[in-house]
């Protein structure tokens, strides 16, 4: 690899800029997705559709829960603590990845917007040095893990995208077209 190149980077783009773009995409896509979900009645949002997390509501709760788990893990790192530790005290601490933190879609939407703002603000604090730091944590099975923050953030954003893709399928099944979801569409909108 040449200078400035690395796993997960765009051509001529550093990892920091890439992750900041992914934070913007997360917010952009969640705004679009939640607007589309809000077109459905509450019972359709909560309807069990035989998806991995049951319903649209269950899947959206899972994404939020996973984000909270990861943000709490990131906050244990000295380099991330200032940006995350205090703001995270305002949010519930989930007990499991299948929990329904919010069964009211309006509350879920409000919390999602707030968390997306926190993620975006956090992304602005990232540096190459910080991304190269190790984060020690326990996975859901309680096993000790250690990975570089940059790698974990790539997983963090990929996880969101994966489950939003499931949500768009559930929306289609409910008769709602989620519209374009590609990162490239956001990049074109940004200019």
Banded pLDDT at 123 (limits 50, 70, 90)? very high
| Assigned domain for 77 exists | yes
* pLDDT given for residue 98 in this prediction: 87
| Assigned domain for 8 exists | no
Average pLDDT rounded to a whole number, residues 52-72: 96
| 163 annotated ligand binder | yes
* pLDDT given for residue 140 in this prediction: 87
| Assigned domain for 191 exists | no
| Assigned domain for 69 exists | yes
* pLDDT given for residue 95 in this prediction: 87
Q: Answer yes or no: is pLDDT of 165 > 90.
A: yes
| 86 annotated ligand binder | no
| Assigned domain for 5 exists | no
| Assigned domain for 187 exists | no
Q: What is the CATH number of the domain that holds 112?
A: 1.20.120.450
Residue with tokens 């490239």: 184
Q: Answer yes or no: is pLDDT of 156 > 60.
A: yes
| 162 annotated ligand binder | no
Residue 106, domain extent: 15-179
- For the whole model, what pTM was predicted? 0.90
Average pLDDT rounded to a whole number, residues 160-178: 96
| Assigned domain for 37 exists | yes
β-bridge partners, 54? 51
Banded pLDDT at 56 (limits 50, 70, 90)? very high
Rounded to the nearest 10 degrees, how much is the dihedral formed by the CA atoms of 139, 58, 68, 92?
A: -120
> What is the C-alpha separation between 91 and 111, in angstroms, rounded?
8
Domain count, the chain: 1
């Amino acid at each position: 690899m040449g200078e400035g190149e690395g796993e997960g980077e765009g051509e001529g783009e550093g990892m920091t800029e890439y992750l900041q773009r992914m934070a913007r995409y997360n917010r952009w896509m969640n705004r679009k997705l939640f607007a589309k979900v809000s077109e459905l009645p509450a019972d359709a949002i909560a309807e069990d559709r035989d998806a991995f997390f049951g319903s649209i509501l269950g899947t959206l709760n899972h994404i939020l829960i996973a984000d909270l788990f990861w943000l709490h893990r990131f906050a244990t790192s000295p380099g991330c603590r200032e940006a995350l530790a205090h703001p995270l005290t305002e949010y519930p601490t989930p007990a499991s990845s299948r929990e329904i933190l919010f069964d009211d879609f309006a509350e879920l939407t409000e919390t999602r917007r707030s968390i997306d703002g926190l993620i975006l603000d956090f992304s602005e604090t990232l540096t190459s040095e910080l991304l190269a730091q190790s984060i020690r944590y326990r996975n859901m099975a309680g096993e000790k893990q250690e990975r570089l923050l940059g790698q974990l953030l790539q997983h963090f954003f990929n996880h969101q995208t994966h489950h939003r893709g499931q949500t768009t399928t559930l929306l289609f099944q409910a008769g709602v077209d989620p519209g374009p979801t590609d990162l490239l569409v956001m990049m074109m909108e940004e200019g």
